């Protein structure tokens, strides 16, 4: 009697679903570029991802330190709390495991040294985004950002967080924000130019229409005067 067929040989076909599962799992993985993207980094089309209030505070705070760009402040805010959107411990209340507080993640002693009350009518606190951002600008300015030199900015960011990777990531995000702002500005200028050309075109059309109406009225008046003169000559004959 011959030996029964091996089950391993008879049932090879179920391996296909396993292969399908592997393919689907691979398809669900993020693309390589997304995996390598910096945390919190945005492209030019997503400048609006910064909350409007935060964008205003970044710009206003940067003006207090000549040489410090709002993009660098926004880069730090993106790294520390995703511009206030993070729900991690210490962003809106309490402290994280390293003792940092608020959307710009100040240690209490550091905040006490550089604290700025952005709104005199409100209580000074690191959890207030405006206070935190203006205090961060003051700290960066004191640590080398004043003047805007590349070395000074790197020194100031490193003083904010003693890690070289942190400096690289903040500057990379700031560069992306700069590109986004430039693209937005060019688009706005192009839109303004198109609107201006459209207004000029409408003005020329209106002027030509007005001229045509004037000419038409003049011809009508001329014809009316000729007709009146002819009518008078007929009546006097």
Alpha helices in 5-149 (DSSP H): 7-10, 15-28, 32-36, 52-62, 70-81, 108-114, 129-140
Q: Please give the Cα distance from 177 to 69 (Å, whole number).
A: 11
Distance CA 8, CA 162 (A): 59
Residue written as token pair 């205003």: 56
Q: What is the pLDDT of residue 229?
A: 66
Tokens representing residue 185 in the block:
């500005």
**Could you tell me the pLDDT band of residue 33, with boundaries at 50, 70 and 90?**
very low
107-116, 141-150, 220-229: which range is least confident on average? 220-229
Residue whose pair of structure tokens reads 């089309």 in the numeric block:
45
For residue 93, what pLDDT is reported? 95
Q: What pLDDT, on the 0 to 100 scale, is given for residue 196?
A: 60
Give the pLDDT confidence of 55-111 residue by residue, as tens digits.
Answer: 999 999 999 999 999 999 999 999 999 999 999 999 999 999 999 999 999 999 999
pLDDT at 1: 44
Q: Residues 152-179: pLDDT tens digits?
A: 999 999 999 999 999 999 999 999 999 9
Domains belonging to the chain, first-starting first, are 47-184 (1.10.530.10)
Task: Region of 41 please: left (phi>0), alpha (psi -120 to 50) or beta.
Answer: beta
- Indicate the average pLDDT of the chain: 78
Q: pLDDT digit string (tens) for 209-223?
A: 778 788 878 777 777
Whole-angstrom distance, CA of residue 37 vs CA of residue 185: 25
Give residue 43's pLDDT band: very low, low, confident or very high (50, 70, 90). Answer: very low
């Amino acid at each position: 009697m011959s030996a029964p067929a091996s089950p391993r040989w008879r049932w090879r076909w179920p391996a296909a679903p396993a292969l399908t599962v592997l393919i689907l799992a691979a398809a669900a993985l993020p693309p390589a570029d997304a995996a390598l993207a910096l945390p919190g980094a945005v492209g030019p089309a997503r400048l609006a991802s910064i909350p409007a209030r935060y964008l205003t505070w970044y710009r206003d705070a940067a003006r207090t330190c000549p040489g410090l760009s709002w993009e660098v402040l926004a880069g730090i805010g993106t790294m520390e709390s995703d511009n206030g959107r993070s729900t991690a411990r210490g962003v809106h209340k309490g402290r994280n495991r390293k003792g940092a507080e608020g959307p710009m993640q100040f240690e209490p002693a550091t905040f006490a040294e550089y604290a700025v009350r952005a709104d005199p009518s409100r209580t000074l606190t690191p959890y207030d985004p405006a206070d935190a951002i203006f205090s961060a600008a003051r700290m960066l300015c004191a640590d080398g950002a004043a003047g805007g030199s590349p070395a000074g900015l790197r020194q100031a960011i490193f003083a904010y967080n003693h890690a070289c990777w942190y400096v690289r990531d903040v500057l990379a995000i700031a560069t992306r924000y700069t590109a986004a702002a430039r693209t937005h500005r060019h688009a706005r200028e192009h839109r303004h130019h198109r609107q201006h050309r459209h207004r000029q075109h409408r003005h020329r059309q209106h002027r030509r229409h007005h001229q045509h109406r004037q000419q038409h009225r003049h011809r009508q008046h001329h014809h009316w005067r000729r007709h009146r003169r002819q009518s008078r000559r007929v009546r006097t004959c």
